[in-house]
């Protein structure tokens, strides 16, 4: 047996949960990702999706993807740098720049590769990169790839951030990177305070809008727009894998920074461009989001209803201010058990355990879409209430 096989024979963590019948991952979906899905032979209410605008099954998005498939074929067979740039990619980049309100954007094949590629290149030796300690894994990986000195501060703790900034040379390039909406807990970055610190300590700021596009700001432009701070934020990152009903991501910034990234970003240059179908789907979703502001209105109505109902029923839901609702369990085994019992009762939710959260903060994560109804939410509340009470997590 080889070295690696010998080592990974000992990797038995998942088997423990499979044996106990509570392993919650890699379930197979056999339908579209709507508010109800077919999954592992069950018909379940989908409260684990990031498709906040509810556009993944939209006929117009599907038609745009099909038309692009017919016109351009199934793949681009090369990097944007060489043979992989379609007029569709360029159109999407231009429309996104107008939408986000920055000079230019660059589109990548995933949001993960945006953070990984941009952070690796945008700061370097002698610079500093400062992250919230709950930033997304793609930000963590990106900063690890950069040659900048890596620092972080306690989640949303502005005093701690200021302490870090105070200790750094005023003239040095310093980039603060934050999730606009934190993906597991649903709380927001304190952007006004972060921007004030940017000015006080001579820094730059990058915001990851993965969970805020299509949700916050005018026509879903995100958290920077919501706070009126788009001009103050240097780099804005977004993904197409959530509200934009597709796959891919982008970085938006001033023309000079984008020109630099276009010619240096390794995950942009040394990776094939996004497929025609995925690009066309994101473009169509961008159009619909702007044409139908009532979608976002509906998302917020159902979110407000759910926040109210979970609080009323005594769930611990932390500081969320978004369609992501964490239901705290504070125990890994019980978190898996809640997920399993909910699934069997017809509700799909995501378990969140370390490293996606602190060990003591395990939770199940509910996420809402514009297409959810209050009746569906109410059914979810009732089912989850019974499970949480039966397991002694909350009182009846
Ligand atoms: N940033 C955040 C905050 C995310 O939650 C995610 C995806 N879960 C990403 C980046 C990566 O995006 P993508 O799915 O497009 O790779």
Q: Per-residue pLDDT tens for 21-30?
A: 889 999 999 9
Which of 179, 239, 243, 274 most suits a substitution to test ligand 1, by most atoms within 8 Å of the C-beta? 239
Q: Would you say residue 83 has pLDDT above 90?
A: yes
Q: Model confidence over 218-269: pLDDT tens digits?
A: 999 999 999 999 999 999 999 999 999 999 999 999 999 999 999 999 999 9
How distant, in Å, are the alpha carbons of 4, 14, 23, 184, 249 from that of 189?
41, 33, 32, 13, 20
Count Cβ atoms below 10 Å from residue 160 Cβ, excluding itself.
15
Q: What pLDDT does 355 receive?
A: 87
- My answer on whether 123 and 176 are in the same domain is yes
Q: What pLDDT does 292 receive?
A: 97
Which atom, in ligand 1's list, is nearest to the CA of 113?
A: 16
Q: What percent of the chain has pLDDT over 70?
A: 100
355 vs 389 pLDDT, higher one: 389
Domain boundary among 238, 265, 291: 291
Q: Would you say residue 104 has pLDDT above 90?
A: yes
Q: Would you say residue 14 has pLDDT above 90?
A: no
Q: What pLDDT does 341 receive?
A: 97
Residue 319 confidence class, pLDDT cut points 50, 70, 90: very high
Q: What pLDDT does 9 receive?
A: 86
111 alpha carbon – ligand 1 mean position (Å): 5
Q: Would you say residue 16 has pLDDT above 90?
A: no
Q: What pLDDT does 20 receive?
A: 87
355: preceding bond cis by omega (within 30 degrees): yes
In a domain, 197, yes or no: yes
- My answer on whether 143 and 250 are in the same domain is yes
Q: Would you say residue 309 has pLDDT above 90?
A: yes
Residue 112 CB–ligand 1 contact under 6 Å: yes
Tell me the chain's radius of gyration from C-alpha atoms: 21
Residue with tokens 């979906």: 29
Contacts by 35-41 with C-beta closer than 8 Å and gap 24+? 35/369, 35/371, 35/372, 35/373, 35/376, 36/376, 37/348, 39/343, 39/348
**Taking a C-beta distance cutoff of 8 angstroms, is the pair 218, 225 a contact?**
yes
Q: What pLDDT does 396 receive?
A: 86
Domain boundary among 254, 273, 291: 291
Q: What pLDDT does 13 receive?
A: 78
List Cβ neighbours of 356 (8 Å cut-off, separation of 6 or more): 184
312 alpha carbon – ligand 1 mean position (Å): 31
20 alpha carbon – ligand 1 mean position (Å): 30
Give the lowest-confidence range in 6-20, 47-61, 83-97: 6-20
Q: DSSP letter string over 239-304?
A: ESSSTTSSS-EEEEE-HHHHHHHHHH-HHHHSSBPPPHHHHHHHHHHHHHHHH-THHHHHHHHHHH
List Cβ neighbours of 378 (8 Å cut-off, separation of 6 or more): 309
What value does the mean pLDDT of the chain take? Answer: 96
Question: Residue 244 corresponds to which tokens in the numbers above?
Answer: 């934009």
Q: Model confidence over 127-184: pLDDT tens digits?
A: 999 999 999 999 999 999 999 999 999 999 999 999 999 999 999 999 999 999 999 9
Ligand 1, atom 13: closest residue by C-alpha: 111
Total domains present in the chain? 2
Span 344-350, average pLDDT: 97
List the domain range (segments joined by +) for residue 38: 15-46+293-390
In degrees rounded to 5, what are phi and psi of residue 238?
-145, 165
Span 278-294, average pLDDT: 98
- Stated as kind and residue range, the H or E segment containing 27 is none
141 alpha carbon – ligand 1 mean position (Å): 12
Does pTM surpass 0.95? yes
Q: What pLDDT does 15 receive?
A: 86
- My answer on whether 243 and 316 are in the same domain is no
Residue 111 CB–ligand 1 contact under 6 Å: yes
- My answer on whether 308 and 240 are in the same domain is no
Which atom, in ligand 1's list, is nearest to the CA of 135?
A: 3
Q: N- to C-terminal Cα distance for the chain?
A: 54
Q: Would you say residue 359 has pLDDT above 90?
A: no
- Give, to the nearest 10 degrees, the angle between helix 87-100 and helix 276-291: 30
- My answer on whether 327 and 272 are in the same domain is no
67 alpha carbon – ligand 1 mean position (Å): 27
In degrees rounded to 5, what are phi and psi of residue 232?
-85, -20
Which atom, in ligand 1's list, is nearest to the CA of 111?
A: 15
Residue 373 confidence class, pLDDT cut points 50, 70, 90: very high
- Stated as kind and residue range, the H or E segment containing 32 is none
112 alpha carbon – ligand 1 mean position (Å): 5
- My answer on whether 64 and 96 are in the same domain is yes
- My answer on whether 105 and 251 are in the same domain is yes
Look up the CATH number of the domain holding residue 260: 3.40.640.10
Give the closest residue to 173 by CA, choosing from 125, 137, 213, 136. 125
- My answer on whether 190 and 327 are in the same domain is no
Domain boundary among 263, 291, 319: 291
């Amino acid at each position: 047996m080889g070295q690696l096989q010998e080592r990974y024979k000992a990797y038995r963590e998942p088997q423990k949960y499979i044996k106990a019948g509570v392993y919650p991952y890699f379930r197979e979906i056999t339908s579209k990702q709507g508010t109800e899905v077919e999954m592992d032979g069950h018909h379940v209410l989908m409260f684990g999706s990031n498709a906040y605008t509810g556009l993944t099954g939209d006929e117009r998005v599907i038609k745009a993807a099909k038309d692009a498939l017919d016109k351009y074929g199934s793949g681009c067979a090369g990097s944007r740098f060489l043979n992989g740039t379609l007029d569709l990619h360029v159109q999407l980049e231009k429309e996104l720049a107008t939408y986000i309100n920055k000079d230019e954007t660059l589109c990548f094949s995933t949001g993960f590769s945006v953070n990984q590629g941009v952070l690796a290149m945008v700061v370097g030796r002698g610079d500093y990169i400062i992250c919230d300690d709950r930033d997304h894994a793609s930000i963590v990986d990106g900063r690890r790839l950069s040659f900048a000195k890596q620092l972080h501060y306690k989640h949303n703790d502005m005093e701690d951030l200021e302490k870090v900034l105070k200790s750094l040379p005023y003239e040095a390039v310093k980039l603060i990177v934050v999730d606009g909406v934190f993906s597991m807990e649903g709380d927001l970055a304190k952007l006004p305070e972060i921007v004030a610190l940017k000015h006080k300590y001579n820094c730059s700021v990058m915001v990851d809008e993965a969970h805020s596009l299509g949700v916050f700001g005018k026509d879903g432009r995100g958290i920077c727009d919501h706070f009126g701070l788009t001009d103050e934020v240097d780099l804005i990152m977004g993904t197409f894998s959530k509200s934009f009903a597709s796959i891919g991501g982008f970085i938006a910034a001033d023309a000079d920074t984008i020109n630099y990234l276009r010619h240096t970003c390794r995950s942009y240059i040394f990776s094939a461009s996004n497929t025609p179908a995925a690009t066309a789907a994101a473009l169509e979703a961008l159009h619909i989001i702007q044409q139908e502001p009532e979608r976002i209105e509906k998302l917020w109505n159902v979110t407000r209803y759910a926040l109210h109902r979970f609080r009323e029923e005594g769930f611990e839901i932390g500081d969320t201010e978004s369609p992501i609702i964490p239901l705290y369990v504070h125990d890994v085994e019980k978190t898996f058990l809640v997920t399993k019992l909910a699934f069997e009762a017809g509700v799909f939710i995501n378990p969140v355990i370390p490293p996606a959260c602190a060990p003591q903060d395990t939770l199940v994560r509910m996420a809402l879409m514009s297409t959810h109804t209050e009746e569906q939410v109410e059914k979810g509340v009732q089912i989850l209430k019974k499970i949480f009470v039966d397991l002694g997590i909350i009182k009846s």
